[in-house]
Amino acid sequence: MSASPAPILITGAAQRVGLYCAERLLDDGHSVIVTYRSERPGLATLRERGALVLQADFSSEHGILAFIAELKGHTDSLRAIVHNASDWLTETPGDEAAAFQALFSVHMLAPYLINLHCADLLQRSTPADIIHISDDVARKGSARRPAYCASKAGLDNLTLSFAARFAPRIKVNGIAPALLMFNPEDDAAYRAKALDKSALGIEPGPDVLYQSLRYLLDNPYVTGTTLTVNGGRHLK
């Protein structure tokens, strides 16, 4: 993947997979802009390496539009937008609507508005890409997190709609990963149960997501596609 003078925007890159992808893009010589909701230790490394780090509030239309305005104050072009920002909420009794609205805002409204309002930035770069990071769980739904799954499924559909709308100037694709990395607090029983859900039965780490991201950025003949990166969960 040849580096472009236009930066790549990654939302939600303060930790874990987003942080890893930002660091790898910097390794590959790309200019990178990242967003974060809360300050995390990894952001200091990104700043030291020259990434532009912007705080963003995707919980409301106002916050999303404010971020877009700030972004346009820093750059007049983008090589790609990677929508990685996400939230992991469960609906609690009496609070279902608030949870649904919060998930809708970060998983659907933010990508929707950013894509619409930043298309002009992408059109100043050749090639140009939008990549939505979805979730494999949207494929089958979840009894425990229906709002989360619905909002991620909506993001998958936005991939199709924006791919049609922005072709041929901008490619739009998605990545739907399953388990990539455990959290330090995950116990042995949980880890064993989670690994058993996939045919390959491994904790692959964040590099498989980056490999998928790189493929979509590199390939000039793929748009409107969501890559499933789930270790064969659909086989079990």
- Biggest CA pair distance of the chain: 50
Report how far apart, in Å, the C-alpha atoms of 113 and of each of 23, 50, 64, 206, 228 are: 26, 27, 7, 27, 25
The size of the chain, in residues, is 236
Q: Which of 148, 190, 215, 221 is catalytic?
A: 148
Which among 78, 84, 160 has a CA at the least distance from the CA of 120? 78
Tell me whether residue 148 is one of the annotated catalytic residues.
Answer: yes
Q: Which residues contact 79 (CB under 8 A, 6 or more apart)?
A: 4, 6, 7, 8, 30, 31, 122, 125, 127, 128, 129
Residue 168: cis peptide before it, omega within 30 degrees of 0 = yes
Active site residues: 148
